[in-house]
Amino acid sequence: MRVNRDRNDSASRPVHVGDTLTIALESGVRVLRVRGCGERRGPPAEARQLYDDLSPPDPPAVATGERIGGRPGKHERRAAVGLKRRASADSDDDFASGDG
């Protein structure tokens, strides 16, 4: 975490109104500016009013079920196996009827 661009390793460092916090998370980086200090521990809606979120917007998410390249998923593999089985069953039928 950084406070006003200075690296901070202490969890007990006080922050003041106007300070900018940069927080590295697994999902990305959050940049927050402190607008005020709370008098009590309250609900999240009340806490959101105490800071401005200056983080860059998140990249658009890929819709569930859409794959971009890479290996086929479980459903695609099972569909392909089903097609192969039907194709081999159809060719066996052609051979048995004398067409093959």
What are the tens digits of pLDDT across the range 28-86? 889 999 999 888 888 999 999 999 999 888 777 666 656 667 787 888 888 888 777 77
Distance in angstroms (rounded) separating the CA atoms of residues 54 and 34: 11
Decide: 32 and 54 in contact? Cβ < 8 Å: yes
Tokens at residue 13, please?
Answer: 């460092």
- This model's pTM is above 0.85: no
Number of domains in the chain: 2
Q: What residues contact residue 52 under an 8 Å CB cut-off, 6+ apart? A: 32, 33, 35
- Whether the per-residue pLDDT at 20 is higher than 90: the answer is yes
Assigned domain for 48 exists? yes
Assigned domain for 59 exists? no
What's the first-to-final CA gap in the chain, in angstroms? 71
User: For position 21, what pLDDT does the model report?
Assistant: 92
User: For position 19, what pLDDT does the model report?
Assistant: 93
Q: Which domain holds residue 99?
A: 69-100
- Whether the per-residue pLDDT at 99 is higher than 60: the answer is no
Assigned domain for 93 exists? yes
